[in-house]
A and B are shown apart, each in its own frame.
Chain A
């Protein structure tokens, strides 16, 4: 298979090539990249704030493609699940969209009485030069709620820059609320999106430890909670790609320390709790935490061993958005006895990949900003039985006749927490062991009596 010349340094084989992975680069023009844009990054981060209005300022497409596609659940209001757009047409492209934006905001706020409004800039707004900031300021003064522009013009960088724009927007909410009555043992949860109700599981663990959660900033979010997030004693950051920046800004402005955590897999989940207990340095809390971890794992472990029996020795490929998630997945798959043969991300940093390299076994392929052609090839080369990825990767896995697990926003069961590890094992098991795969023609090399070479065909690369 041909890897694009400009991409060669974005593919690393542990033990075979020297480690000099190139990353955080703009995708090459013409590549079938799996990446998205700045707008996508911002929309993802702010989307779960359920009692705010989210108005997409641009043509209808950007709003239509992001309408209720993420299962970020809310325990109350569901305003975030509706799709609002200024639906810019030719006329506004010529004369500007400010007046439409102003009128749209007024109508929305009068109708829904939201606690705040976010206005997302799209590519076109960046080019026609609407002064979104000024419109927001005017509406905010008139209506008495925060109306916050999100500078998410699609072309102004990568999805990661979109995360940053969202963090900047969040900083305009944080600090507005009162912080009296907040416990000295308190945290904010950053970077959990409450997919399939995951933040509810995590919040319950912290509650049992005696820790107050002030704000779930990116999961089951509420404007008022976020406004008092600066009163928390500690920030817990999952999904480093999206939320490190906010933690950094909150540290600078409010002096709140932060802890990197992951809620996937036994090891990382337990550490996410122990880390908090250690931080607060409270012996009672540590004891409660140890009991919690022990109880949770004991309840699940026997069942997990059954799945492990079936899955041990099988190989997996991982291709996810942020590299931090990949670390947990490598460990979680190891717990199931599976080997990770291929691992990659859309937005990993050099440091992330360095860590991945140390975590992975010899021969593992590590790849940055990959494409379907490369991924299919690596999967076939390594004889993988499970692909973990997102929406665009699922049908590729199935076409290759292997199991798939969505570890992105289309997951339907909670994968976080101890119980999430069991759900993960079950999902992997049911997909990898599905009877359907036995009906698929296999390449000749995997037929024991064959002796004929792999006839893997790539019409794209004769």
Chain B
């Protein structure tokens, strides 16, 4: 009864967030930057921010996470952080020797008003940035948006700093995968390869945050999108941005800068969203979908048909990040389940618009942007659900209300596997339905009376 303090009665709370369903922008920017090859993310603020973000990412991905900090002091908060950042650039290039330093701001450097482009121009002028090396940046004020916003801002920064248009179109497609696992990025690349399409996937944390154990600590593991690839993104035939919240801004920026047309799709979780993704790839690259992919789709539908009777009518509560929730809710509806409560901590009207679209057949559904997990718990207390899906913080509700729980999203601090097995594509959807069915059936086995405890289900 850890959450014994949750009240059933729902009152307006304006001044207080209890058990937040989000965290702040910089951690998202740090994760995105790790998806650039040979890049060191740099936190321009106090030391604690960097330590917290590294710890959180380490706990989730179970990998070393390298990032540096401007180590603000009281002096910097009065006189500005320029001296710290200039010194940091020197130290980083001389000791850690990355190809790129990706600077993101923090609430502190935002409020004191550090002008990062001006500081970087000065660094360039002073010759602090070696030939062939880059320092990029994005603004990530922690008091605006959420971690998803920070991710989006850094991806947009990649476009603004690197994408070029040479005038010669290249036969390749840009894919902005959104805030998904390294395994998902790997799967997205596999799908495109299977269709014979060349891609630039950015960011790409596969082979960075799921690196094999070799007995060496690679400060910069081999993965990550290369600078060359990022530059060439301006010459691609088109961009597919997966997830409105995490990826749209970069796609729009690339169109504005290099005139690369784009499509914004849902994250390819589940059948329909994957269909749209494959179709969009097909049209953009003008290829035929190979039989192997149709077969993957067929296997998924086959599995769903085997399971459908167990899914029918099950009430599900979900929380986490908006792009994930939109796609996942749609898939649950496809499975004939009822996603009745959906909460994201990330603010944005778009979320509520999309959820109205996806859940128009579920009249009892409630959803909220800029909500918290306390509210979700209150809804569940008022009318229970059969299944809860969300990040690790859902475990308190799952235990207190005794609800089957599937971990999905960020952060997952108490299980391993999310960085290895994808959830995107038909293959990922298979894993999802396996998890859902397992959770429901395990519960039935646990709770049913002995006389109806059945071997064959």
Contact = CB atoms under 8 A, between A and B. Distances in A.
A37 B49 contact: yes
A254 interface: no
Contact of B142 (A59, A86, A101, A156): A59
Contacts of A58: 107
Given A37-B47, A100-B15, A155-B77, A30 B90 contact: yes
B88 A30 contact: yes
Given A35-B51, A81-B2, A85-B17, 14 more contacts: A29-B70, A32-B69, A37-B46, A60-B22, A63-B20, A82-B5, A104-B15, A154-B46, A155-B46, A399-B216, A400-B216, A440-B213, A440-B214, A458-B219
Nearest to B42: A30
Interface in A221-235: none
Interface in B403-455: none
A293 interface: no
Contacts of A85: 16-17, 20
A460 B7 CA distance: 52
Interface of A: 2, 4, 6, 26-40, 58-67, 69, 78-79, 81-90, 92-93, 99-104, 107-108, 111-112, 122-124, 126-128, 154-159, 372-373, 376, 391-392, 394-396, 398-401, 440-443, 456-462
Contact of B64 (A93, A396, A460): A396
B27 interface: yes
Contacts of A37: 46-49, 51
B216 A456 contact: yes
Contacts of B95: 2, 4, 30-31, 373, 460-461
Interface in B135-166: 141-144, 146
B52 A40 contact: yes
Contact of A460 (B89, B213, B220): B220
B21 to A, nearest CB: 9
B40 to A, nearest CB: 8
Contacts of B106: 123
A213 B418 CA distance: 45
Interface stretch (B54-62, B253-261, B311-319, B379-387): B54-62
A30 B219 contact: no
B216 A154 contact: no
B106 to A, nearest CB: 7
A84 B45 contact: no
B23 A401 contact: no
B28 to A, nearest CB: 10
B61 to A, nearest CB: 8
Contacts of A373: 95-96, 219
The bracket for how many chain B residues form the interface is 35 or more
Contacts, number: 261
6 contacts: A61-B142, A90-B141, A124-B107, A157-B73, A391-B59, A392-B65
A101 B14 CA distance: 11
A402 B209 CA distance: 19
A26 B49 CA distance: 15
A4 B13 CA distance: 50
Contacts of B14: 100, 103
Contacts of A154: 45-49, 72, 108
Interface centre among A30, A35, A398, A459 (most CB of B within 10 A): A30
Contacts of B286: none
B334 interface: no
Contacts of B172: none
A42 B74 CA distance: 17
B108 A155 contact: yes
A87 B372 CA distance: 11
Given A58-B107, A92-B143, A87 B20 contact: yes
A33 B47 contact: yes
A462 B97 contact: yes
Given A36-B51, A108-B16, A29 B87 contact: yes
Interface in B1-34: 2-3, 5, 7, 13-20, 22-27
A90 B16 contact: no
A82 B6 CA distance: 10
Nearest to B347: A89
B66 interface: yes
A89 B216 contact: no
B48 A39 contact: yes
A106 B266 CA distance: 41
Nearest to A5: B94
A154 B112 CA distance: 14
Nearest to A2: B95
Contacts of B107: 58-59, 61, 93, 122-124
B393 interface: yes
Contacts of A2: 94-95
Contacts of A101: 15
A38 B48 contact: yes
Contact of A124 (B55, B63, B98, B143): B143
User: Nearest 6 CB-CB pairs, A to B?
Assistant: A37-B48, A61-B24, A30-B88, A30-B91, A103-B15, A154-B46
Nearest to B106: A123
B171 interface: no
Contact of A32 (B2, B68, B216): B68
B3 to A, nearest CB: 8
A411 B218 CA distance: 26
B111 to A, nearest CB: 5
A324 B70 CA distance: 28
Given A39-B48, A156-B74, A395-B64, A64 B20 contact: yes
A88 B40 CA distance: 29
Contact of B20 (A26, A60, A102, A108): A60
A155 B74 contact: yes
Contacts of B301: none
Interface string B296-327: 00000000000000000000000000000000
B258 to A, nearest CB: 31
Interface centre among A4, A6, A60, A373 (most CB of B within 10 A): A60
A157 to B, nearest CB: 7
B208 interface: no
A373 B98 CA distance: 13
A36 B87 contact: no
Contacts of A108: 16
Contact of B88 (A29, A99, A127): A29
B76 interface: yes
A28 B71 contact: yes
B360 interface: no
Contacts of B65: 392
Contacts of A400: 215-217
A39 B73 CA distance: 13
Interface in B75-134: 76-77, 83-85, 87-92, 94-98, 106-108, 111-112
A260 to B, nearest CB: 27
A443 B17 contact: no
B270 interface: no
A69 B146 CA distance: 20
Given A127-B112, A396-B217, A30 B89 contact: yes
Contacts of B72: 123, 154-155
B221 to A, nearest CB: 9
A127 B38 CA distance: 35
B18 A83 contact: yes
A31 B46 CA distance: 12
Contacts of B73: 26, 155, 157
